[in-house]
Amino acid sequence: MSYRAFISMDVEELPKVVEFSEGLRRLGSSLKVVDPSIIHMTLKFLGETDEALTPRIKEAMERSIVGIPPMLLKFKGVGVFPNMSRIRVVWIGTEGGENMSLIARRLDDELSGYGFRKEGRPFVPHMTLARTREGFSAAGAATLIEASKGEEVGEQVMDTLRLKSSVLSPRGPTYSTVEEVKLKG
């Protein structure tokens, strides 16, 4: 049996993220806004994953955090992928995410040995707020995004790496934790 999986660190619901998400939601249905209660920072997307690999994935997660203590992340600055003229994803960036990037690189290396594809681009610590749909006009979002580019959103101590299962539905995704490991340093 398999499940759709990813490895992430959860982000608590932050008032400024909720406020910004509501602003995005008002831009219309051409933006699929992520429910602020399930926002997380994905370090590695695995896709369809055989349940039999779960113990090995947990071991890889444990090895990826060796020597890394809990980290204080400051969430700051709204950005987009790939660029402002062709927005596909709206996100909030971080300060203090160097160790998160290190964990992501280690996960990428560790999990490639189990058949998971290595990332072709560098890891950028961020939380996804919205994805664009057909008919999206960047012009409407540009003002909101530009006004929030340098805004501080909050901070959080990140201390738990989680293997998550994702079930997609028309109402949005449902996530559940399959395994977790704590950062100790």
Question: What is the tens place of the pLDDT at every residue in 90-125?
Answer: 999 999 999 999 999 999 999 999 999 999 889 999
Question: Taking the alpha carbons of 14, 82, 175, 110 in that order, is the dihedral positive or negative?
Answer: negative
pLDDT tens sequence across 63-97:
999 999 999 999 998 999 988 888 899 999 999 99
Asked if residue 15 belongs to a domain, the reply is: yes
The answer to whether 45 and 22 have CB atoms below 8 angstroms apart is no
The rounded mean pLDDT for the chain is: 93
The answer to whether 34 and 21 have CB atoms below 8 angstroms apart is yes
Decide if pLDDT at 131 tops 80.
yes
- Residues 32 and 36: their CA atoms lie apart, in Å, by 12
Largest CA distance in the chain: 47
Asked if residue 153 belongs to a domain, the reply is: yes
Asked if residue 29 belongs to a domain, the reply is: yes
Which range of residues forms the domain containing residue 43?
2-180
- For residue 105, what is the domain's CATH number? 3.90.1140.10
Q: Residue 126 catalytic?
A: yes
Write down the pTM of the prediction: 0.93
Asked if residue 185 belongs to a domain, the reply is: no
Asked if residue 121 belongs to a domain, the reply is: yes
Only one residue has tokens 């934790």, namely 177
Whole-angstrom Cα Rg for the chain: 17
pLDDT average, residue stretch 168-184:
93
Q: Of these residues, 44, 76, 106, 126, which one is catalytic?
A: 126
Residue 172 Rama label (left phi>0; alpha psi -120 to 50; beta): left
Decide if pLDDT at 3 tops 80.
yes
| Dihedrals phi, psi of 4, to nearest 5 degrees | -80, 125
Q: Of these residues, 4, 40, 58, 105, which one is catalytic?
A: 40
* Structural domains of the chain, count: 1
138's CB contacts (< 8 A; 6+ apart) are 84, 85, 86, 87
Asked if residue 48 belongs to a domain, the reply is: yes
The answer to whether 7 and 61 have CB atoms below 8 angstroms apart is yes
